Amino acid sequence: MPRVQLPAVTPKRKAWNKGRIIGQKRPLLPKQVWAIRARLELACNLRALTLFNVAIDSNLRDFDLVKLAVSDLVKDDPVWERVSVIQSKPKRSVQFQLTQQNTRETV
């Protein structure tokens, strides 16, 4: 039985991830973290600065981080030092400590 050779199909556009690094990225360096914090402070973007600081302290996934409310971090007036959150994906409780100098001031 003869083999039929189909014509080669060429894509009309380049793939969106061609030449990009895929997979897990390297962690941010402390210098990069401070640069991001400085830019957010200069831009007076308090919500983004608070989310960034809590993300650095907690290592939560993005959807768990966005679901956090201020009432989860603050009771009456003082900000809690230790916070416990139940993750949505593995359904486990995660405890983390909010650092005094950055996160607790922005919250």
The pLDDT of 38-60, averaged and rounded, is 89
1-10, 25-34, 41-50, 58-67: which range is least confident on average?
1-10
What are 62-106's pLDDT values in tens digits? Answer: 888 888 887 777 777 777 778 888 888 888 888 888 876 677 777
Residue 107, Cβ neighbours under 10 Å: how many? 15
For 26, 52, 89, 106, the CA distances from 22, given in Å and listed in that order, are: 11, 23, 22, 33
Beta-bridge partners for 107: none
6-10, 25-29, 44-48: which range is least confident on average?
6-10
* Residues 6 or more apart in contact with residue 102 via CB below 8 angstroms: 37, 53, 56
- For the chain, the average pLDDT equals 83
The size of the chain, in residues, is 107
